[in-house]
Structure 1
Amino acid sequence: MSLYGKTILIGVTGSIAAVETVRLIHALKRKRAEVQPVMSQAACKIIHPDSLTYASGRDTIVQITGHVEHVKYCGDEGLADLFLIAPCTANTISKIACGIDDTTVTTFATTALGRKMPIILVPAMHHAMFRHDIIIKNLETLKKSEIITIDPRIEEGKAKIAGIEEIVLWCERLLSGRPLAGKRILITSGRCEEPVDDIRVLTTRSSGKMGRELAYEAFRLGGDVTIIHRDEVIVGRNVHATSALSMKNAICTLMEEQVPDIYISAAAISDFAPDYKPCKIPSGIPAIIHLNPLPKLLDLAVGTVPVTVAFKLGKSAHEEVELLFRKGVSMVLANKPENLGSENGQYTIIDSFGYEQADGSKHEIASMIFDRIIAKHL
């Protein structure tokens, strides 16, 4: 998602993580957002305001003047679309929770809360401070005011600022209009590995990139995302699966918990499982491996989930699409072998409304897929 036309006010407080702010501003500007920095006096002791002025292209606000900058950006007719406080110290968390506005950043926060504009806090501090029961209580208080907190990374005794990609994704989510709000999206992604012996596996060249981009796009659009795969995404719910059987079990468990609104089968699920050979098949001599067909996991969702999306790989994809539609699949992505493991792809989106060519980066293709789901199937 592009943040074109959006103004993000970024509040910087007195954590050493303030040194990451220049990179964060650049990341937001790459998404075409306008970024206006605001710094507390404590933050100015860690990083110079000129650094943020240079990164953003706007004069950094370090004090409230007769121009009433907090009203200009966060008042009822304010210019800002989102207030992002990154990093946010324990001191700032507690002041906002108690309605204290004795710093530039907290004055902006008080005004933003009164307007009920979107606010994101990105805490960064020592872990002992972050797990303080009063800080925890204050974060809960802020949550009741619909303030989003992006959890820090707990490493080396510190609650370190969240990664830049995660912060940007949350900004996109809050500014997307959230057309998928309240929708549950289940995605299977990446390759499966079927054991041949104790050393070898049968697998595919799938990298899981398409599945990850689909998960991120669903998150941007406000959806409640669960992804079943062998990897990790930084937002949503990760469910680990390495084989067709473990993926099947995960799908069944999740479907029993709650049927999703959208199911996307982007995984290169194994069509066959070899007869497992204990230990290691000797090398240097011919070996015969017997392959047993595996059930189609898509059948677990079709007819139960309102919107189902399948990926069909191979030259015969178009001929097999009708069979998938007769099963009840809502949309098919005709895939090509060269798409596997690539950053880019060429797909044909096929549904009952017709055909659409989707070429470009997998991020762009994920956006096109959800645009069509929202426009045609929800």
Structure 2
Amino acid sequence: MLSGKRILLIIGGGIAAYKALETIRRLRERGAAVTPVLTRAAREFVTPLSVGALAGEKVYTDLFDLTDEAEMGHIQLSRVADLVLVVPATADLMAKMAQGLAGDLASTLLLATDTPVMIVPAMNVRMWEHAATRRNLATLTGDGVRVVGPASGDMACGEFGPGRMVEPGEIVAAVESALSGGPLTGRRVLVTSGPTHEPIDPVRYIANRSSGAQGTAIAAALRDLGAEVVFVTGPAEVARPAGVEVVEVETAREMRAAALAALPADAAVFAAAVADWRVVSESGSKIKKVAGALPVLEFTENPDILAEISALTEGRPGLVVGFAAETDDVVAHATAKRARKGCDWIVANDVSPATGIMGGTENAVVLITGDGAEHWPRAAKSDVAARLAARIADTLAGL
């Protein structure tokens, strides 16, 4: 129940705005107080009169309203709520949020708030899949914004696919979960992410193409379910997620030390692409190029962090999840890796150049467990992360 909770509801301008009316009704049924804010575009779809009647409160619409500013300034309005809920979050609103724009009341409130923010996206499938929207989504989730949906289905524009707003019941359930702490409240989860850099000399190193995007999305999704997340990351390209403990490392040995230091943990997700080898003797100065002479590098294996933590007899996390980036025979290689490493699950994907997954915004994974292989459809990395986080929460609840 939401008794005593106050929701600042920002209604965006899209055909799905009509679902905001039912959302208000259901939130109030559960005891929440709802303060509505309508964008100019939202008023083309729902009226302040209908919204105010359902909310039982004043509807705010304009940034430069002298009466509203005298009664409650927009800065204060953004901070008295327990949650800021955006229904629907249009592509335009998401872009403004990601870029920190504040040209109207809704975007100003979103920039000025210091309370949790939840968005419920709804837009045309092509807009949802556009690279700009994917970048904005990654920025928002990294900033700690919770995302609910979208679903796939028929749209008012006549197209079919992801971008359809979830139903009011799902929105209210997500609000209740967010304000009650989430199913992972009290749980500690270790997540490793990004590549490692193994130095050859002061200017050269061994690495791989990992961007760290999937690991970052997983950390954010676990955080959104209430977990205390320790995020150990190599030199990744993407921004670090807000609201988690971030430990920056460079080498595999540093990542191993940080991972062991993060224990005990209820679960551990090893999404990092750790370099398998390092040079035996790192040069303290730049190796100079000599015509006709090639340098000889001697390699040694890096520590196997996943196998080591999976094999712990004391302090082993209740659930250990590894990742397998493969270019062929994905299921066979990932299944063999799970057995070899001793972990509980392996999340495998095909990172062949043709897939565009390595460094991209989407992923298509196979979850390997003791029950076999479960193929997940290709989706945004944030969606894959949300699904994995929910699966982890369900599993930990049964342990």
TM class by shorter chain equals 0.5 to 0.7
2:287 alignment partner AA? I
Match of 1:349 in 2: 367
Counterparts in 2 of 1:205 and 1:107: CA distance versus 1, 3 Å = closer
1:267 alignment partner, SS class: coil
Once the two structures are superposed, residues 107-150 of structure 1 have per-residue CA deviations (whole angstroms, 9 ceiling, x without a partner) of 9999x98xxxx4359xx9xxxxxxxxxxxxxxxxxxxxxx9735
- Contact 2:348/2:366 (CA < 8 Å) preserved in 1? yes
1:329 alignment partner AA? C
Pairing partner for 1:240 from 245, 248, 267: 248
Q: Distance in 2 between matches of 1:376 and 1:179?
A: 11
2:260 alignment partner AA? C
Match of 1:97 in 2: none
Q: 1:249-268 maps to which residues of 2 (within 5 A)?
A: 249-255=257-263, 259-268=264-273
- Contact 1:196/1:276 (CA < 8 Å) preserved in 2? yes
Q: Distance in 2 between matches of 1:321 and 1:260?
A: 25
Match of 1:119 in 2: 83
- Contact 1:309/1:333 (CA < 8 Å) preserved in 2? yes
Counterparts in 2 of 1:295 and 1:68: CA distance versus 1, 3 Å = closer
- Contact 1:198/1:279 (CA < 8 Å) preserved in 2? yes
- Contact 2:141/2:220 (CA < 8 Å) preserved in 1? no
Does the alignment pair 1:222 with 2:197?
A: no
Counterparts in 2 of 1:190 and 1:167: CA distance versus 1, 3 Å = closer
Once the two structures are superposed, residues 143-199 of structure 1 have per-residue CA deviations (whole angstroms, 9 ceiling, x without a partner) of xxxx97359xxxxxxxxxxx8556772475755462222221110001000111111
Once the two structures are superposed, residues 201-246 of structure 1 have per-residue CA deviations (whole angstroms, 9 ceiling, x without a partner) of 1000111011011112112222222211135223322111111122
Counterparts in 2 of 1:327 and 1:337: CA distance versus 1, 3 Å = closer
Match of 1:84 in 2: none
Q: CA deviation at 1:292?
A: 0.9
**How many corresponding residue pairs?**
283
Pairing partner for 2:349 from 335, 341, 357: 335
Gaps of 5+ in 1: 1-6, 12-21, 40-47, 74-86, 93-100, 125-146, 152-162
Q: CA deviation at 1:307?
A: 0.3
Pairing partner for 1:199 from 203, 224, 230: 203
2:211 alignment partner, SS class: coil
- Contact 1:70/1:107 (CA < 8 Å) preserved in 2? no
Q: Distance in 1 between matches of 2:76 and 2:303?
A: 59
Match of 1:10 in 2: 9
Match of 2:318 in 1: 306
Q: RMSD of the alignment, in Å?
A: 4.6
What TM-score results when the alignment is normalised by the length of structure 1? 0.60
2:373 alignment partner, SS class: strand
Does the alignment pair 1:367 with 2:386?
A: yes
2:46 alignment partner AA? R
Gaps of 5+ in 2: 1-5, 25-34, 86-99, 101-112, 118-138, 149-173
1:342 alignment partner, SS class: coil
Q: 1:77-116 maps to which residues of 2 (within 5 A)?
A: 103=72
1:359 alignment partner, SS class: coil
Q: Distance in 2 between matches of 1:49 and 1:212?
A: 31
What TM-score results when the alignment is normalised by the length of structure 2? 0.57
- Contact 2:307/2:342 (CA < 8 Å) preserved in 1? no
Counterparts in 2 of 1:105 and 1:202: CA distance versus 1, 3 Å = closer
1:204 alignment partner, SS class: coil
2:285 alignment partner AA? C
Q: CA deviation at 1:371?
A: 3.5
2:250 alignment partner AA? T
Counterparts in 2 of 1:167 and 1:72: CA distance versus 1, 3 Å = farther
Counterparts in 2 of 1:336 and 1:51: CA distance versus 1, 3 Å = closer
Counterparts in 2 of 1:372 and 1:353: CA distance versus 1, 3 Å = farther
Q: Distance in 1 between matches of 2:371 and 2:195?
A: 30
Aligned sequence identity (%)? 20
Match of 2:27 in 1: none
Counterparts in 2 of 1:175 and 1:240: CA distance versus 1, 3 Å = farther
